[in-house]
């Protein structure tokens, strides 16, 4: 538990990381809400209320996207902080297990990320319930499923980011590659029909398949993964492979 708390404190003390993540997860949705509410007040006929069940899926996607970017940055820093600051050598010299040092990063990251995700989710929940106007509102099951999916999506992103960063040892490169993959490469590959069923190996497609809101109206048209079981298996494989590679590099790295 001491190692986990140490990892959490190392991340929390980075004020830029903390406030930047809060801006991505809470600040941006708040700004968007203010704009949408002003538009609705000025022109109710042309702009509907920002809340309600119809907008719930969009708000979920928004907080998941902002949370995923924050997760990649947090994971990239967590995976390389000890090496880049020279602390890794001192920790190894004290006789601490390298595997334990690596494993402690996962819950340490979650302790920083999940409270911010929860705060962001409470914000969009307030928007969808309190500013729905005459629109229907999401039910308890929708809310629980939506919250679980956001935690799954962002938790997955932070874990694979940490594993990848631990593997290559470069914070800037790992964050840049993962953001480029998530925001540019993966969406493009999903549209390449020539790849066929191989596109189901894309974890972004699997996360989209598990999003509970689109499934209420049928499978998400932008998701090539049609089976929830396959989506879960793909996510597990990505996590296991990147954690294994990151852990191996941590164990074999020169102190």
DSSP letter assigned to residue 223: -
Backbone angles phi, psi at 218, to 5 degrees: 110, 170
Q: Supply the pLDDT for residue 216.
A: 46
Q: Supply the pLDDT for residue 30.
A: 94
Q: What is the pTM of this model?
A: 0.90
Q: Supply the pLDDT for residue 222.
A: 52
CA 117 – CA 114 distance, rounded (Å): 5
Q: Supply the pLDDT for residue 251.
A: 86
Q: Using only the alpha carbons of the chain, give its radius of gyration.
A: 20
* C-beta separation of 67 from 119 below 8 A: no
The Cβ of residue 129 has, within 10 Å, a number of other Cβ atoms equal to: 14
Q: Supply the pLDDT for residue 181.
A: 92
Interacting residues of 70 by C-beta distance below 8 A, sequence separation 6+: 20, 21, 24, 25, 113, 116, 154
Q: Supply the pLDDT for residue 84.
A: 78
pLDDT digits (tens, 9 = 90+) for 203-246: 988 898 898 876 544 444 456 667 889 999 999 999 999 999 99
Ordered alpha helix ranges (H), 131-198: 140-168, 171-180, 186-190
Q: Supply the pLDDT for residue 217.
A: 44
Q: Supply the pLDDT for residue 69.
A: 96
Q: Supply the pLDDT for residue 218.
A: 41
Among 175, 229, 230, residue whose Cα is nearest residue 202: 230
Q: Supply the pLDDT for residue 225.
A: 65
Q: Supply the pLDDT for residue 87.
A: 78
Positions of the chain with pLDDT under 50: 216-221
């Amino acid at each position: 538990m001491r190692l986990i708390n140490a990892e959490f404190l190392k991340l929390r003390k980075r004020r830029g990381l903390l406030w930047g993540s809060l801006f991505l997860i809470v600040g941006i949705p708040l700004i968007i809400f203010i704009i949408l509410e002003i538009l609705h007040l000025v022109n109710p006929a042309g702009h509907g209320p920002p809340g309600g069940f119809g907008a719930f899926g969009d708000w979920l996607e928004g907080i998941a996207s902002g949370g995923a970017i924050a997760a990649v940055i947090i994971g990239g820093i967590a995976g390389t902080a000890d090496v880049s600051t020279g602390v890794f050598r001192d920790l190894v010299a004290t006789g601490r297990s390298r595997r334990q040092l690596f494993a402690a990063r996962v819950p340490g990251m979650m302790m920083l990320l999940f409270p911010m995700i929860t705060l962001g989710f409470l914000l969009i929940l307030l928007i969808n319930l309190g500013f729905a106007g005459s629109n229907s509102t999401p039910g308890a099951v929708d809310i629980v499923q939506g919250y679980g999916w956001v935690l799954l999506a962002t938790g997955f992103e932070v874990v694979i980011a940490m594993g990848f960063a631990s593997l290559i040892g470069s914070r800037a490169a790992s964050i840049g590659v993962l953001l480029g993959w998530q925001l540019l490469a993966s969406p493009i590959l999903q549209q390449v029909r020539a790849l066929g069923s191989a596109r189901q190996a894309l974890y972004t497609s699997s996360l989209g398949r598990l999003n509970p809101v689109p499934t209420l109206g049928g499978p998400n048209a932008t998701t090539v993964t049609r089976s929830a079981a396959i989506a879960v298996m793909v996510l597990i494989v990505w996590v296991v492979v990147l954690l294994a590679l990151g852990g191996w590099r941590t164990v074999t790295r020169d102190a």
